[in-house]
């Protein structure tokens, strides 16, 4: 493994640990808590697709006439992940993106999908992000998360997009979260079965194979440019910090709801 990859992994480990050991996971023990979590997490699920598409646009040919663009192995990685994320199968065997699957899980669970739908409709109708956030009343941490990702996207720097994708998005879901979802599913499968399936699919699709290829993509894009490696690490740390902030916001809302109850 490239020494700079090793260095980034070492330097982001404290942030990864903060996410893996985040108090939000132990705060979720009933359906209403999971609803709050999902109402925050959906923004990260959505903007992952945008980051992936930025990589597809920049590292493969998406214009006409077609030419072989960039590194062939990187193209394979991007196309494989796009296929997995944009056209997977749901529990009934219907083709769905992971985003749409997550929305189905939210509906089943009783979470509120009106804000995310309103947000996307506003963007589709030509509103800018600031206005779409306001109209949909997106949680502040969700706004910050998306804004940070789109700064990376709009930088046009593929090495930063790849670093954020590779290190900032490794799905950092601890075992206790799975066991909590399994517990809820054993008592209320009609509420949680789709979310359980989503988590399982995510782990299968984002397994070792993809993370290994993503590391080599980042390595190829940074290569021998020391400045690129420094920027890549800074972008990764920012992405992880925004994830922590998003989890903090979900935690605060979960706890305040319990106090009110």
pLDDT in tens, 151-189: 999 999 999 999 999 998 766 777 788 888 999 999 999
Q: How confident is the model at residue 203 (pLDDT cuts 50, 70, 90)?
A: confident
| Residue 57 confidence (pLDDT) | 96
- Report pTM: 0.94
What is the pLDDT confidence band of residue 201, given thresholds at 50, 70 and 90?
confident
What is the spatial distance between Cα 118 and Cα 116, in angstroms, rounded to a whole number?
Answer: 5
């Amino acid at each position: 493994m490239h020494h700079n990859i090793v260095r980034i992994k070492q330097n982001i480990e404290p942030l990864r640990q903060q996410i893996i050991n985040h108090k939000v996971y132990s705060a979720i023990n009933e359906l209403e808590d999971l609803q709050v979590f999902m109402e925050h997490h959906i923004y990260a699920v959505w903007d992952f697709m945008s980051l992936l598409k930025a990589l597809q646009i920049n590292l493969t040919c998406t214009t006409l006439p077609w030419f072989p663009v960039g590194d062939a192995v990187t193209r394979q990685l991007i196309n494989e992940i796009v296929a997995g994320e944009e056209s997977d199968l749901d529990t009934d065997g219907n083709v769905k993106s992971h985003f749409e699957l997550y929305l189905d899980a939210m509906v089943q669970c009783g979470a509120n999908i009106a804000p995310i739908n309103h947000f996307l409709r506003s963007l589709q109708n030509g509103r800018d992000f600031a206005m779409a956030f306001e109209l949909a009343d997106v949680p502040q941490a969700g706004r910050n998360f998306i804004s940070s990702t789109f700064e990376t996207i709009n930088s046009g720097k593929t090495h930063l997009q790849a670093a954020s994708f590779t290190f900032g998005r490794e799905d950092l879901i601890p075992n206790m979260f799975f066991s909590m979802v399994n517990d809820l599913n054993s008592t209320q499968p009609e509420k949680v079965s789709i979310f359980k399936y989503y988590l399982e699919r995510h782990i299968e699709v984002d397994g070792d194979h993809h993370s290994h290829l993503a590391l080599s993509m980042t390595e190829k894009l940074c290569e021998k440019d020391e400045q690129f490696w420094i920027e890549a690490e800074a972008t990764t740390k920012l992405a992880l910090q925004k994830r922590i902030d998003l989890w903090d916001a979900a935690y605060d809302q979960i706890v305040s709801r319990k106090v009110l109850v």
